[in-house]
Amino acid sequence: MKVSYKWLNEFVDVDIPYEELGNKFSLMSQEVAGVYSLTDATKIVVGHIISKEKHPDAEKLSVCQVDVGHPVQIVCGAPNVETGQKVIVALVGAVLAGFKIKKAKIRGVESNGMICSLNELGIDKKYVDTSGIYVLPENSKIGSNPLEVLSLDDEVMELDLTPNRGDLLSVMGVAYDTAAILNKELMLKVPQIVEVDEVIDFKIKIETKKCMSYYARVIKNVEIKESPDWLKARLIAAGVRPINNVVDITNYVMLETGQPLHAFDLDKFETREVVVRTANDDEVIKTLDGQDRNLLVDDIVITNGKVPTALGGVMGGYDTEIDEHTKYVLLESATFDPISIRKTSSRLDLRSESSMRFERGVDPNRTILALNRASEMFQNLASGKVLSGVSNVENNNLDDKEIKIDLTYVINYVGYNYSVDDIESVFDALNFEYSRDNESFILSIPSRRKDLVTKQDLIEEIVRIHGYDKIPLTLPKTVSRGGLTTSQLRRRKIRNLLQGFGMDEVISYSLINKDNLYDFTIEETNYTELLKPMSIDKSVMRHTPLNGLIDALKHNIARKNKDLSLFEIGSKYLDTEKMAVCGVLSGVQNQLSWKGNYESVDFYYVKGIIESLLSNLDVEVKYAKPEKTNVNFHPGQTVYIYQNNNLIGFIGKLHPKYQALNDLNDTFIFELVLDDIKFQEEINKFESIQKYPSMERDIAIVVNRDISASLVLDTIKKAGKKLLKDITIFDIYTGENVGESEKSIALKLVFMDKERTLETEEVTERVNKIIKVLEKEINAKLRD
C-alpha cells in the first residue's frame, strides 16, 4: 500500500516529517519499505509561452520565448508546444531524475532550460501520457511551482503489509494507526449527497452465502471526463493509473476506504435487477481486460438476472464497462467471502486491487460509507445526479465482537508491569470502545480490525503502541538439561573424524533430476516425486547424498581442482528418510611436490578411511564382494559392508564408462547408512594395560588366488582362539616363486595372555594348529 502524505493529512494532522512517521510506523505498525517524494525534480517553474518560431536549422525543433517571471529562450522538440500555453519549465541548474539541465546551444541556437512532460519530471510512464509536453491549466501563475499546481508536491509512504492487516489497505486504515502512533485525533468525514427527486428502482437478490451484502446506487447524467489534477496525483501516488473520472472515483474511494466499488454502465445493463449467485459450470464471462473466462461453481457472479455482468469481487464485465459515452451508472458496493475470492482470483491468475482487499476481508461498516463517498464525488466531479435511495441486501452480522482482557493477564504474558492507565491510553489512541471494571477490560472490537480475535491479538496492540522498547530483558525460568542426543553427538564425531582424515564437507540439494535417481542405488527402490516441480532438474528426492557429491566433484574439476576428498552427512529419501554419510574421492590425496611424491587415491585408501572411521565408532563389520552391483560401479572394486549380516554401506570405484560420461577421473565413493547401523550403547570401560609380554610369530602361506584375505583372516582367528590377539598381513606376493594360480600371504601373529607370560612351546603348538586348520580349510601350504 502506497499512501500519499496529503491524503493521509485529511484524516490526521501529521505534524512531523513523513520520513519520521515512516520510522515510527515500522516500529509500531507495519514495515515501511520506503518514504519518497512523488518527484525529485528541482528548479522547475510555471512558464508562459510568448512566442514560438521554427528552428532555422532543424525541422522538428521550435525556438520558444518563455516568460518565467523573466524571459528565457528555450529550444523545444515537443510536437504539441504552442504559443499561449502555460507549461512546466526546468530552468538551467534544474535536476530531473538525476539529470542536470545546462545552458546549451542546440544546432546553433541558445537554449536556457527545458519544457517538460510529466514523465520527464520522474512520474512513471505507466501513469502519464508521454507523447508531448504537459500543458498546465490557463490560470496557473507564472513563476510558481508547477508541482503545487498539479498537486504532485506530495510524498509517498510505501507499506510492506503482512496478510493479517487488510485494514491498512486503505488511507483510512493507515490514518487510524497513524493517529494512534502520534496520539492525535482522527478526523472522519460524512459524505454530503444531494439526492434528486427520482427514486432508485432496482432489485437486489443474493442467492449465495459467498456474498454477504450488496449495496447499490444509481447516478444519472454523468459526464465522463478527465479527473482533476489533485485526484490524478493521488492515484499516481497510490500506484493506480488515472483513466477517467468515473473509474478514477471508484478507485479513489476504494483506496480511501478499503471498500472496492464497481461501476456498471446502466444503459448496457439490460435489466433493472442484480442477482448475485455462484456461476454455472459451463458459464463464460468476458472480463474488462477483454478475456473470456471459463467459470466454475465456486465463482461468484453478479448478473442482471440473465447473464453474468461481473466476476464478483474480482473484475467487472466487458459488456457493461464504463466508456466515454457512459451517462447512466449503477454503483456497486458489496462484501464477498474472502476464501472464495482468493480461490477464483488465484485460479484465473487475476489479482486485482479489488480481489486483494476482499481476500483479506473488508470492513462491512464501510460498505455504505464508500457507496456514499463515491456518489458524493460523482455529484461533484462528474456532474452526476444521485437518485434517491439505496438498494441493498445486508446479511453481515454487524454486531461488534467483544474481547475480555485482564490487566494481570497482560502483565504475566508480557513480563512488564503495565498500569491501567497504560492500557487505557493504548485503547484510546486506537479509537477502541471499551468498558472497564477495576482491572478488567471488555473491548468491543471494531469491524475494521478483522485481525483482532483473541486476547493475544490485543496484547500485540498494547505492546506495539506502548512500545516494544519498554519490555524488559529476562531469560526463561524453565530449568532444563540441554544437550545433544547420542545420534547428534555421533554425527558431530563423524564430521570431526572425516575432517581429520582430510575430507571437506559439502551440503547439496535434496531435489535432483529423475534421470539420476538410480545412479547409485541398486534396485528399483521407491522414490518421492514432487507434484509440481519448478524444473526437471529438481523433481525427485535423491536416494543418496552421492548425487550432490558427484555434482560438487564435477563443479570443482571443471574449475581445475582435480584433487578432491568430499563428504556429506545427509538424508537418503527412500520409503523413509535415513541419515547417511557419503564420500567421493579423486586425484592426489597427499603430496610433497618438489620430491615428486604424489599419493593418488585408490581403493585401499578409501577402505582405510572407512575402517578407521568404523573402528573409532566401535562398529564391527564384515566386508564382502557383492554378486551384482549397480551398473555405474566398477565390478572388481566394490565392496559391501555388513554388520551382523545387515548391509550398512559400500565402498566402490565408479565404472570407467560412468567416469568418461561425466568427465571424471578415477573416482571412489562410499556410503554408510547411519540409521541402519547398530551402535554400541554402553561406554567402553578401562582395561588395565598389558603387564605380560606378547609373542610374535611370522608365517607365510601359499593359497589359491581366489581365496580372499578376509577368509584367511577369519580362518586364522577361529583357529587361533583366545591367545591370538592380533594378525597383520605384511606381504602379498604373486609371481615366479609360487604357482601361476597361487599367491603367497605373509602374516604376523601376535599371542598374548592377560594373566601370565606365555611359554614358547604353547605358542608354537598354537601356530602349528593354525597352520593345520589353514591346510584343511583353505588348502593353504606353508611357504618356507
Partner 1 sequence: MSINEKLKQIGEEAKKTISIVDTIHDLNNEKARYLGKKGLMAEFMKMMKDATIEEKKEIGKASNEVKQLITKLLDERKEYIENKKVEEKLASESLDVTLPGKISNVGVRHILNQVTEELEDLFIGMGYIIQEGPEIEIDEFNFEKLNLPKDHPARDMQDSFYISDELLLRTHTSPVQVRTMLEYGGKEAIKIVCPGKVYRRDDDDATHSHQFMQFEALVVDKMTTLSDLKGTLLEFAKKLFGDDRSIRLRPSYFPFTEPSMEVDVSCSKCGGSGCNMCKGTGWIEVLGAGMVNNNVLELCGYDSKIYQGFALGMGVERIAMLKYGIDDIRHFYTNDLRFLKQFK
* Residues numbered 343-382 forming contacts with partner 1, rule: CB under 8 A: 343, 359-360
- Cβ count within 10 A of residue 739: 13
The stretch near partner 1 (CB under 8 A) out of 168-176, 263-271, 475-483, 664-672 is: 475-483
Stretch that binds partner 1, among 186-194, 232-240, 381-389, 546-554 (CB under 8 A): 546-554
Q: Which of positions 143-162 make contact with partner 1 (CB under 8 A)?
A: 162
Binding status of residue 314 toward partner 1 by CB under 8 A: no
Instruction: Give the range of 284-292, 315-323, 456-464, 515-523 binding partner 1 by CB under 8 A.
Output: 456-464
Question: Smallest gap, in angstroms, from Cβ of residue 72 to partner 1?
Answer: 38
**CA 237 – CA 127 distance, rounded (Å):** 10
Touching partner 1, residues 27-86 (CB under 8 A): 27-31
- H or E segment and range at residue 24: helix 18-28
Q: Which of 271, 425, 528, 662 binds partner 1 (CB under 8 A)?
A: 528
CB 390 within 8 A of CB 239: no
Report, in Å, the least distance between residue 589 CB and partner 1.
7
Smaller CB separation from partner 1, 54 or 209? 209
CA–CA separation, 619 and 224 (whole Å): 86
Stretch of 80-88, 135-143, 509-517, 713-721 contacting partner 1, by CB under 8 A: 509-517
DSSP letters of 166-233? Answer: GGGSSHHHHHHHHHHHHT-----------EEEEEP--EEEE--TTEEEEEEEEEES----PPPHHHHH
User: Is 556 one of the binding residues for partner 1 (CB under 8 A)?
Assistant: yes
Q: Are 443 and 454 in contact (CB under 8 A)?
A: no
The distance of closest approach from Cβ of residue 649 to partner 1 in the complex, given in angstroms and rounded to an integer, is 20
How many residues does this entry show for the chain?
A: 784
> Which one of 69-77, 163-171, 232-240, 374-382 is the stretch in contact with partner 1 (CB under 8 A)?
163-171
β-strand pairing of 391-394 with 284-286: unpaired
495 binds partner 1 (CB under 8 A): yes
CB of residue 479 vs partner 1: minimum separation in angstroms? 7
> Does residue 762 belong to the site contacting partner 1 (CB under 8 A)?
no
Query: Residue 43 or 490: which CB sits closer to partner 1?
Result: 490
Angle at 380 between CA 379 and CA 382, to 5 degrees: 70
Select 360 or 543, whichever has its Cβ closest to partner 1: 360
Among 9, 26, 665, 708, binds partner 1 (CB under 8 A): 26
438 vs 593 by CB, closer to partner 1: 593
Does the footprint of partner 1 cover residue 13 (CB under 8 A)?
no
CB nearer partner 1, residue 568 or residue 742: 568
Q: Which of 325, 481, 685, 756 binds partner 1 (CB under 8 A)?
A: 481
Residue 547 lies near partner 1 (rule: CB under 8 A):
no
- Is residue 297 at the binding interface for partner 1, with CB under 8 A as the rule? no
The DSSP code sequence of 710-775 is: HHHHHHHHHHHTTTEEEEEEEEEE-STTS-TTEEEEEEEEEE--SSSPPPHHHHHHHHHHHHHHHH
Q: Tell the residue number behind the cell numbers 512531523, with chain if given.
A: 16
Among 88, 552, 664, 778, binds partner 1 (CB under 8 A): 552
Q: Do strands 99-100 and 315-316 pair parallel, antiparallel, or not at all (unpaired)?
A: unpaired
Choose the stretch contacting partner 1; rule: CB under 8 A; options: 126-134, 242-250, 504-512, 653-661.
504-512
The C-alpha atoms of residue 320 and residue 79 are separated, in whole angstroms, by 36
Q: Is 534 in the site for partner 1 (CB under 8 A)?
A: yes
Asked whether the beta carbons of 681 and 745 are under 8 A apart, the reply is no
Residue 136 in the binding site for partner 1 (CB under 8 A)? no
Q: Which residues contact 435 (CB under 8 A, 6 or more apart)?
A: 441, 442
Count other Cβ atoms within 10 Å, centred on residue 402: 11
Helix/strand/coil (H/E/C) assignment for every residue in 335-378: EECHHHHHHHHHHCCCCCHHHHHHHHCCCHHHHHHHHHHHHHHH
- Residue from 41, 39, 45 nearest 112 by CA: 45
Strand partners, 206: 276
Q: Given candidates 56, 93, 108, 502, which one binds partner 1 under the rule CB under 8 A?
A: 502
> Is residue 585 a contact point for partner 1 (CB under 8 A)?
no
Give yes or no for residue 536 binding partner 1 (CB under 8 A). Answer: no
The three-class DSSP label of residue 318 is: helix
Separation in Å, CA 673 to CA 232, 455, 491: 67, 49, 12
Q: Are 520 and 584 in contact (CB under 8 A)?
A: no
484 binds partner 1 (CB under 8 A): yes
Minimum CB distance to partner 1, residue 424 (Å): 19
- Least Å from the CB of residue 738 to partner 1: 36
> If binding means CB under 8 A, how many residues of this protein chain bind partner 1?
92
Lookup: cell for 530: 514432487
Angle between helices 603-616 and 486-500 (to 10 degrees): 140
- Rounded to whole angstroms, the Cα distance separating 99 from 93 reads 10
Q: Which of 2, 327, 347, 538 binds partner 1 (CB under 8 A)?
A: 538
Q: Is 475 in the site for partner 1 (CB under 8 A)?
A: yes
Check residue 454 for interaction with partner 1 (CB under 8 A). yes
- Rounded Cα–Cα distance for residues 60 and 53 (Å): 11
How many other CB atoms sit within 10 Å of the CB of residue 56?
10
| Binds partner 1 (CB under 8 A): choice among 127, 416, 623, 733 | 416
602 binds partner 1 (CB under 8 A): no
- Single residue of 474, 645, 684, 760 touching partner 1 by CB under 8 A: 474
Tell me the backbone φ, ψ of residue 769, rounded to 5 degrees. Answer: -65, -45
Q: Out of 48, 165, 217, 373, point to the residue binding partner 1 (CB under 8 A).
A: 165
Looking up cell 604424489 gives 598
**Residue among 286 and 491 whose Cβ is closer to partner 1:** 491
Q: Which stretch binds partner 1 (CB under 8 A): 367-375, 591-599, 612-620, 632-640?
A: 591-599
To the nearest whole angstrom, how small is the minimum distance from the Cβ of residue 257 to partner 1?
Answer: 21
503 contributes a contact to partner 1 by CB under 8 A = yes
> Can residue 559 be called a binding residue for partner 1 (CB under 8 A)?
yes
Q: Is 459 near partner 1 (CB under 8 A)? A: yes
State which residue, 321 or 359, has the beta carbon closest to partner 1: 359
**Stretch near partner 1 under the rule CB under 8 A, chosen from 219-227, 266-274, 473-481, 774-782:** 473-481
Q: Cα separation of 747 and 730, whole Å?
A: 6
Query: Are 327 and 267 contacting, i.e. CB atoms less than 8 angstroms apart?
Result: yes
Binding partner 1 (rule: CB under 8 A), the pick from 70, 105, 325, 532 is 532
Which of 290, 349, 438, 476 touches partner 1 (CB under 8 A)? 476
Among 128, 511, 672, 774, binds partner 1 (CB under 8 A): 511
